Amino acid sequence: MTPPKKAPGNKAAQTASPLLPLRDIVFYPGMNAPLFVGRPKSIKALEKAFSENKSVVLAAQKDAMMNDPAPKDIYQIGCRAEIGQILKMPDGAVKALLTGMERVRITGFVNSGEMFLVNYANLAGGAAQASTAAHSLHKIARTLFQKYIKLNRRLPGDAAGQITGIEDPSQFADAVAATIMLALEDRQEFLEMADVKTRMEKIIEKLQNEIEVGQIERRLQNRVKRQMEKSQRDYYLTEQMKAIQKELGKGPEGEKGEFGELRRRILAAGMSTEVEAKALKELDRLEQMPPLSAEGTVSRNYIDWLLDVPWKQGTKDNLDIAHARKILAEDHYGLEKVKERILEYLAVRKLVERMKGPILCFVGPPGVGKTSLGKSIARAMGRKFVRFSLGGVRDEAEIRGHRRTYIGALPGRIIQSMKKAGTKNPVIMLDEIDKVSSDFRGDPASALLEALDPEQNSAFNDHYLEVDYDLSEVMFITTANSLHTIPRPLLDRMEVIHIPGYTDGEKLAIARKYLLSKQVKEHGLTEQAMAINDGALLKIIQNYTREAGVRNLEREIASICRKVARDIAETTSTKKALSARMKTKTSLGPEKLVDYLGEVKFKDDLAESRDEAGVATGLAWTELGGSILKIETSILAGKGQFILTGKLGEVMKESAQAALSFIRSRSKRFGLPGGFQNKIDIHIHIPEGATPKEGPSAGLTLALAMTSALMNIPVRRDVAMTGEITLRGHALAIGGLREKLLAAGRAGIKTVLIPKENETDLAEVPDNVKEKLTIIPVRNMDEVLKIALVHPIGARAKKKAPPHKPVRKRLRPQRPQPGPPLN
């Protein structure tokens, strides 16, 4: 770059000067560059200029593509240049060496025919008189430019050095602009700036931009480079590892070592082609991974799971019905209907090769033998048995597994059970299917449905396993305490078998024949050493347990066994003495129970209590079987409010309302004053904790308790009842009759009132239950009152006045109205 010589100044502006229109380039003062001229008009202008004063005006044309621009197509501001030399090229073009001198404004076109001749003037302010401001800006710009050069290595080093060395701010600005401004418009705009300071600011701004862009580019480049390096390094290391493994004989090629073993196991597992392909693919992936990496562990676990679930191993079904009958009898007492039903099921299974039959569902209170029946079925058929509980399962993933992307993911419980069973046709028992709930984590019931449904379970999809698994040979048995919380679609696919609970007599037989021998054996005792008599067993049943099943009974027996074992161990020192002691019959009667089990836990309520006004006994059906439900009512002076305490559900409140409405409808006959209910508060309390689930059916009991309290006539304590009530006092049918009657028997009730509509259900109730009870079907509340109150309404109490006086005074029945006799 040569510093411009002194400009010819305005003098030159007086004579017309040739003009070269430039395509794609804007010439700056100070620029030193060859120019190739091809257009005849331009060649003429160049030659004229060269022959005269070697000065030519250069101005960019607005559109570079234009071949023959008119004056309006040429920018008004250009640069005057001096021609160093010109050289004719063989193709007729001319190469001219030009040096930019100063900014000029074209003031007019003199000729634009055979060549452009223009008048021009130096651009105002273009005298490059740099101000102090421009000087300080110069310093900044220089530093930035140096930075820019470092980032942008495209600029040749010496050119960069030359530019940095320029002392004159104006020339410096132009030189920098010539190197960094690329777009034609930008360059032209810069050319049009006469003022040095403005130009300086412009290049500073431009440099800052360029530097920023350069820095970003460099960062990106570095990142890409690093990534490339890493993947190259990984590739290199993996290759090396393979080589090392090959050396050690662990490589896939050798088919020795761990991977070879896995491959062989996969091929031998009996998987379907699809699953096998998936397992092999995963193995290939595993081989590529560095050992002990997190990814490798996940992959390895997955392959292990695929290998651990059974694909072809199975047991051969024993469908011999006589054999099954024998086993069921061996393991369980009674339950004849249930056993028959199971045998029928097995029989059909025998006839139909692949039965798409319903799933068995055992419903009943805890401890009635649901699980052990399942085990017996498995034993009878020669199948493996696994069970898991669904109680509290809310998350679909517990059934169907977590996707492998989760850390610590596992298959769902069904696939886990299959692994545990180790055969593809086990009996799987799903306990507590009535306790499945669903929330935002998906619906486990629908996953269960897919597993249980014979139509679709040949391709069960576990999220972890990712491949379809065939569950069609599995025999599913479910258990539940009650039916009403089982999701409907599940219930539809199940064949429900009720196991209601046992009478005391049955419990005694179960204890004697099964539980006792089992526990005696488990505790290393003998029948002689622990000869417990029936009296003692019955006492345990009645006073130490109160349950529908026999679980606690078994626990109490186990507890006695433990203590007897301890006694024996403590009192015998030699082996001989021990075996002699084991053979000596030591009988254990009811009187000894206190020593082993402590004070009785359940007293005979009836014997202790007395007939009371306002207290009636209902019968409820809960998840734990039947139970009795004491309802206490008291009448207080008040404003017609209901106070309900104890665990009363909404249904119970409605029953109480209905009972009150009934009493009001009979108020005349009962001799109660009109509007009596507005002067009293009725407090109803149900002390015992059992929360009835299927509606307590306590309408009759509530009405009885309330009537008894209002009329102050005690209720017979040996009478219990069940049934809802209509507003007119009719008794409505109830469910769970067997369980309720069993509970009544357990509690020592003598008379049970049941709705007339339930009379036909009595056929279902075992005779030994019915024998102990007087069961009276009733149509309406009037019948209940007649039987359950110690004396009829209206009749005078013979005994001394019962307690609770306060209300009685105010509510003393008025003289009974003559009305139709009470039935």
Question: 740, 756, 798, 800: which one is catalytic?
Answer: 740
Identify which of residues 369 and 444 has a Cβ nearer to ligand ADP in the complex: 369
**What is d(CA 688, CA 669) in angstroms, rounded to the nearest whole number?**
33
Q: Which long-range contacts (CB under 8 A, 24 or more apart) does 582-587 make?
A: 582/525, 582/526, 582/528, 582/529, 583/526, 583/528, 583/529, 584/528, 584/529, 585/528, 585/529, 585/531, 586/528, 586/529, 586/530, 586/531, 587/531, 587/532, 587/533
**Distance (Å, rounded) from C-alpha 489 to C-alpha 359?**
13
369 is a site residue for ligand ADP (CB under 6 A): yes
Whichever of 335 and 628 has its CB closer to ligand ADP, that residue is 335
What angle is formed at CA 476 by the lines to CA 475 and CA 478, rounded to 5 degrees? Answer: 150
Binder of ligand ADP out of 366, 487, 671, 696 (CB under 6 A): 366
> How many whole angstroms separate alpha carbon 597 and alpha carbon 616?
32
Contact 290/241 with Cβ under 8 angstroms? yes
SS3 163: helix
Write down the least CB distance from residue 563 to ligand ADP, Å: 20
Q: Containing H/E element for 620?
A: strand 615-622
Q: Tell which phi-psi region holds residue 231, choosing left (phi > 0), alpha (psi between -120 and 50) or beta.
A: alpha
726 phi/psi in degrees, rounded to 5: -90, 170
Which residue number, 251 or 365, has a Cβ lying nearer to ligand ADP? 365
Cα–Cα distance measured from residue 477 to residue 369, given in angstroms and rounded to the nearest whole number: 13
Whole-number Å distance between alpha carbons of 414 and 457: 11
We find the least distance from the C-beta atom of residue 361 to ligand ADP, in angstroms, to be 12
Contact 614, 635 (CB under 8 A): yes
Q: Give the binding range for ligand ADP (CB under 6 A) out of 138-146, 167-175, 326-334, 777-785.
A: 326-334
Q: Is 500 in the site for ligand ADP (CB under 6 A)?
A: no
501 binds ligand ADP (CB under 6 A): no
Sequence-distant (6+) residues with CB within 8 A of 240 are none
* Minimum CB distance to ligand ADP, residue 783 (Å): 37
CA-to-CA dists, residue 189 to 202, 208, 659, angstroms: 10, 18, 99
Of the two residues 104 and 690, which places its CB atom closer to ligand ADP in the complex? 690
Nearer to ligand ADP, 462 or 623 (CB): 623
CB closer to ligand ADP out of 178 and 769: 769
- Whichever of 375 and 770 has its CB closer to ligand ADP, that residue is 375
Residue 785 CB, shortest distance to ligand ADP, in Å, is 39
332 binds ligand ADP per the rule CB under 6 A: yes
Please give the backbone phi and psi of residue 496, each rounded to the nearest 5 degrees, phi first. Answer: -85, 130
Minimal CB distance to ligand ADP: which residue? 369
Nearest CA to 370 out of 552, 546, 541, 549 is that of: 549
Instruction: Map residues 455-484 to x or -, x wherever contact with ligand ADP holds by CB under 6 A.
Output: ------------------------x-----
Given 3-state DSSP classes, what are the helix, strand and coil percentages for the chain, each rounded to the nearest 5?
Answer: 45, 20, 35
Q: Stretches 183-191, 322-330, 544-552, 713-721: which one binds ligand ADP (CB under 6 A)?
A: 544-552
177, 178, 200, 335: residue in contact with ligand ADP (rule CB under 6 A): 335
- 740 noted as active-site residue: yes
Assess 508 for contact with ligand ADP (CB under 6 A).
no
Determine the straight-line distance between the first and last CA of the chain, rounded to whole angstroms.
132
Applying CB under 6 A, among 18, 69, 100, 367 the residue interacting with ligand ADP is: 367
Query: CA-CA distance, 70 to 118, in Å (whole number)?
Result: 13
Measured from the CB of residue 376, what is the shortest distance to ligand ADP in angstroms?
9
> Least Å distance between CB 668 and ligand ADP?
52
Cβ of residue 373: shortest distance to ligand ADP, in angstroms? Answer: 7
- Contact with ligand ADP (CB under 6 A) among 23, 551, 563, 668: 551
Chain centroid to Cα 566, Å, comes to 49
Dihedral angle sign, alpha carbons of residues 590, 591, 594, 599:
positive
Closest contact distance (angstroms) between CB of 371 and ligand ADP is: 3
Number of Cβ within 10 Å of residue 208's Cβ equals 15
- For the purposes of burial, counting CB atoms within 10 Å of the CB of 344, is it exposed (0-12), middle (13-18) or buried (19 or more)? exposed
Q: Tokens 């028959």 label which residue?
A: 340
Among 370, 379, 402, 740, binds ligand ADP (CB under 6 A): 370
Query: Alpha-carbon Rg of the chain, whole angstroms?
Result: 52
The piece of 39-47, 243-251, 369-377, 603-611 that touches ligand ADP (CB under 6 A) is 369-377
Candidate residues 102, 395, 554, 783; the one interacting with ligand ADP per rule CB under 6 A: 554
From candidates 231, 293, 372, 587, binder to ligand ADP by CB under 6 A: 372
Please state the three-class secondary structure of 2-49 as a single string: CCCCCCCHHHHHHCCEEEEEECCCCCCCCCEEEEEECCHHHHHHHHHH
- Stretch near ligand ADP under the rule CB under 6 A, chosen from 289-297, 410-418, 546-554, 638-646: 546-554
Q: Which of 627, 697, 708, 756 is catalytic?
A: 697
Stretch that binds ligand ADP, among 5-13, 171-179, 329-337, 656-664 (CB under 6 A): 329-337
Task: Please choose, out of 5-13, 137-145, 174-182, 370-378, the segment that lies near ligand ADP by the rule CB under 6 A.
Answer: 370-378
Q: What is the smallest separation between the CB atom of 342 and ligand ADP, expressed in angstroms? A: 13
Closest approach of ligand ADP to the CB of residue 448, in Å: 19
CA atoms 560, 561, 565, 571: torsion sign: positive
**Site mask for ligand ADP (CB under 6 A), range 584-603, x = bound:** --------------------
Shortest gap between Cβ of 428 and ligand ADP (angstroms)? 15
Measured CA to CA in angstroms, residue 431 lies from 369, 388, 393, 605, 692 at distances of 12, 6, 11, 34, 21
Which stretch in 41-49, 188-196, 332-340, 641-649 sits in contact with ligand ADP by CB under 6 A? 332-340
* Residue 601 annotated in active site: no
For ligand ADP, which stretch binds (CB under 6 A), given 24-32, 311-319, 327-335, 697-705?
Answer: 327-335
Contact (CB, 8 A) for 71 and 112 = yes
Measured distance CA(441)–CA(713) in Å, rounded: 56
Find where tokens 């798409």 sit.
Answer: 356
Cβ proximity to ligand ADP, 551 vs 653, nearer residue: 551
Closest CA to 693 of 486, 510, 402, 419: 486
The residue within the footprint of ligand ADP, chosen from 12, 475, 550, 752 (CB under 6 A), is: 550
- Residue among 346 and 510 whose Cβ is closer to ligand ADP: 510
Name the minimum Å distance from CB 720 to ligand ADP: 25
Size of the site for ligand ADP (CB under 6 A): 18
Stretch that binds ligand ADP, among 111-119, 348-356, 549-557, 612-620 (CB under 6 A): 549-557
Host H or E run for residue 388: strand 385-389
* Inter-residue contact 628 to 760 (CB < 8 Å): no
Q: Is 510 in the site for ligand ADP (CB under 6 A)?
A: yes
Residue 514 interacting with ligand ADP (CB under 6 A): yes
Nearer of residues 550 and 789 to ligand ADP, judged by Cβ: 550
Residue 565 CB, shortest distance to ligand ADP, in Å, is: 19
Nearer to ligand ADP, 370 or 740 (CB): 370
Distance CA 212, CA 206 (A): 10
Q: Write out the residues near ligand ADP by the rule CB under 6 A.
A: 332-335, 366-372, 479, 510, 514, 549-551, 554
Which residues are catalytic, by number? Answer: 697, 740
